[in-house]
């Protein structure tokens, strides 16, 4: 049985169009949260978002695909291209899969033509609705890069892409595939923005995860993928492993369709089972990349679950959603990239805009950039609607 090694990454978020640019923003403490410019919405001036400040045409040019694609697919293609390009010509004969995830599908296009669609379906160009399905996003991206051996799409709300990385890891471990590009993508849409707004969990200012006075989350968009390889693939491709995906677990809170249980039942199960899978003790974890959305409910549940699992000895921990916003179906992929970089470069990212200690937890997030650290194991949390909770552990080789 081979381990699944992370050998490369691909990412695009509001803080950068590739891995190097995102890392630079993380090091500089530069946030991507601001006024919506690309998304046209009633809430333009009221609800800040973490947008990629490129039009669909500009995004399409980066990979040479059609600008008629849904924005989620355009973002996905850019991150997949970065992750896959260095190795695509070296992988002949190896079985390669694309494991992607999203929540919004082609809704960014559908919502603009829906009114006309209802009135007269024939007045709508077919290309505006043909890629509406979540699975269509992955399908067109996989076809563009010629990846056919195994292609799938997972949709478990905010934990979606942590689950695609988990499944890809399992299939490499089981010898069913040699290479996997795994993560997810999501674009802004009015549908999602308004949906979260009705739940009254959007912050009208830049979010403050894990702050006692936090007000909610900011939505973000982007895509993030890790390139996973088996030992055999690493040898053939002459690749260098950065870390392994050593632990993973998925659990369900079974408490409420959108809210987390007060004590973080699902969160604790996900973290605990991921540690078991990795064969690690809580004390082995060097850094936790928190889900940390900035909502009262999430941060309280997650905070208590972390407190319970790490029992008085919480390692360095921070949420990076102050930089990227909550990128929903992309979040697990984006944060897997950040976790990988944390191990590679020995860094821990500050939790932006933190001011006041939360009253209901007894530990504190990291608020200054830490460099020169020996980061051996990173725990990355992704929790979402439907009670879906997933945790991944990345370990230095």
The nearer residue to another protein, 86 or 175, going by C-beta atoms, is: 175
Which of 19, 161, 197, 208 is close enough to bind another protein by CB under 8 A?
197
* 251 in contact with another protein (CB under 8 A): yes
Return the range that interacts with another protein (CB under 8 A); candidates 26-34, 85-93, 162-170, 315-323. 162-170
Return the range that interacts with another protein (CB under 8 A); candidates 15-23, 25-33, 128-136, 361-369. 128-136
Cβ 330 to another protein, closest distance in Å? 15
Cβ 260 to another protein, closest distance in Å? 12
Return the range that interacts with another protein (CB under 8 A); candidates 67-75, 135-143, 310-318, 337-345. 135-143
Cβ 375 to another protein, closest distance in Å? 26
The nearer residue to another protein, 228 or 366, going by C-beta atoms, is: 228
Catalytic residue positions, numbered: 158, 291, 326
The nearer residue to another protein, 154 or 396, going by C-beta atoms, is: 154
* 118 in contact with another protein (CB under 8 A): yes
Cβ 122 to another protein, closest distance in Å? 7
* 346 in contact with another protein (CB under 8 A): no
Return the range that interacts with another protein (CB under 8 A); candidates 23-31, 79-87, 243-251, 318-326. 243-251
Which of 30, 62, 88, 190 is close enough to bind another protein by CB under 8 A?
190
The nearer residue to another protein, 148 or 367, going by C-beta atoms, is: 148
Cβ 21 to another protein, closest distance in Å? 30
* 103 in contact with another protein (CB under 8 A): yes
HEC string of the chain equals: CCCCEEEEEEEEECCECCHHHHHHHHHHCCCCCECCCCCCCCCCCCCCEECCCCCHHHHHHHHCCCCCCCHHHHHHHHHHHHHHCCCCCCCCCCCEEEEEECCCCCHHHHHHHHHHHHHCHHHCCHHHCCCCCHHHHHHHHHHHHCCCCEEEEECECECHHHHHHHHHHHHHHCCCCCEEEEEEEECCCHHHHHHHHHCCCECCCCCCCCCCCCCCECEECEEEEEEEECHHHHHHHCCCCCEEEEEEEEEECCCCCCCCCCCCHHHHHHHHHHHHHHCCCHHHCCEEECCCCCCHHHHHHHHHHHHHHHCCCCCEEECCHHHHCECHHHHHHHHHHHHHHHHHHCCECCCCCCCCCCCCCCCCCCCCCECCCCCCEEEEEEECHHHEEEEEEEEEC
Cβ 98 to another protein, closest distance in Å? 10
* 133 in contact with another protein (CB under 8 A): yes
Which of 72, 161, 208, 265 is close enough to bind another protein by CB under 8 A?
265
Distances (CA, A) of 134 to 70, 100, 151, 156, 305: 10, 10, 13, 11, 31
State the binding string over 3-32 for another protein (x if CB under 8 A, else -).
------------------------------
Cβ 222 to another protein, closest distance in Å? 19
In angstroms, the CA 5 to CA 226 distance is 9
With b meaning 16 or more CB within 10 Å and e meaning fewer, what string describes 351-366?
A: bbbbeeebeebebebb
The nearer residue to another protein, 320 or 395, going by C-beta atoms, is: 395
* 279 in contact with another protein (CB under 8 A): no
- Determine the size of the site formed for another protein (CB under 8 A): 65
Cβ atoms 354, 261 nearer than 8 A? no
In angstroms, the CA 180 to CA 245 distance is 12
Binding-site ranges for another protein (CB under 8 A): 41-43, 103, 107, 110-111, 114-115, 117-118, 121-122, 124, 126, 129-130, 132-136, 138-139, 148, 150-157, 163, 167, 170-171, 174, 176, 190-191, 194-195, 197-199, 249-258, 265-266, 269, 277, 384-388
């Amino acid at each position: 049985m081979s381990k699944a090694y992370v050998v490369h990454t691909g990412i695009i978020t509001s803080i950068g169009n590739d891995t190097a640019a995102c890392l630079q923003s993380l090091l500089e403490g530069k946030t991507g949260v601001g006024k919506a410019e690309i998304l046209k919405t009633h809430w333009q001036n009221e609800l800040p978002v973490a947008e990629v400040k490129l039009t669909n045409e500009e995004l399409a040019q980066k990979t040479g695909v059609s600008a008629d694609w849904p924005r989620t697919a355009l973002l996905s293609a850019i991150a997949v291209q970065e992750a896959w390009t260095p190795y695509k010509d070296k992988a002949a004969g190896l079985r390669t899969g694309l494991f992607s995830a999203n929540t919004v599908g082609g809704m960014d296009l559908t919502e603009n033509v829906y009114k006309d669609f209802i009135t007269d379906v024939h007045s709508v160009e077919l290309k505006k609705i043909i890629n509406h399905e979540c699975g269509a996003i992955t399908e067109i991206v996989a076809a563009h890069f010629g990846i056919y051996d195994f292609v799938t799409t997972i949709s478990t709300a905010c934990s979606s892409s942590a689950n695609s990385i988990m499944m890809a890891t399992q299939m490499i471990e089981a010898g069913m595939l040699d290479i996997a590009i795994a993560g997810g993508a999501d674009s802004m849409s009015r549908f999602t923005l308004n949906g979260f707004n009705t739940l009254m969990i959007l912050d009208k200012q830049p979010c403050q995860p894990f702050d006692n006075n936090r007000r909610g989350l900011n939505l973000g968009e982007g895509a993030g993928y890790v390139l996973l390889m088996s030992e055999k693939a690493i040898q053939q491709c002459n690749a260098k492993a950065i870390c392994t995906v050593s632990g993973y677990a998925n659990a369900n809170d079974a408490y409420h369709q959108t809210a987390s249980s007060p004590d973080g039942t699902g969160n604790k199960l996900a973290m605990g089972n991921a540690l078991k899978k990795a064969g690690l003790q809580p004390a082995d974890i060097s850094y936790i990349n928190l889900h940390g959305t900035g909502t009262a409910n999430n941060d309280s549940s997650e905070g208590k679950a972390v407190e319970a699992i790490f029992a008085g000895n919480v390692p360095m921990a921070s949420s990076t959603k102050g930089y990227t916003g909550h990128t929903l179906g992309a979040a697990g992929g984006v944060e897997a990239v950040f976790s990988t970089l944390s191990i590679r470069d020995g860094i821990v990212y500050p939790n932006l805009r933190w001011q006041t200690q939360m009253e209901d937890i007894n530990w504190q997030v990291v608020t200054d950039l830490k460099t020169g650290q020996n980061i051996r194991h990173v725990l990355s949390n992704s929790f979402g609607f439907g009670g879906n909770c997933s945790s991944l552990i990345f370990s230095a080789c």
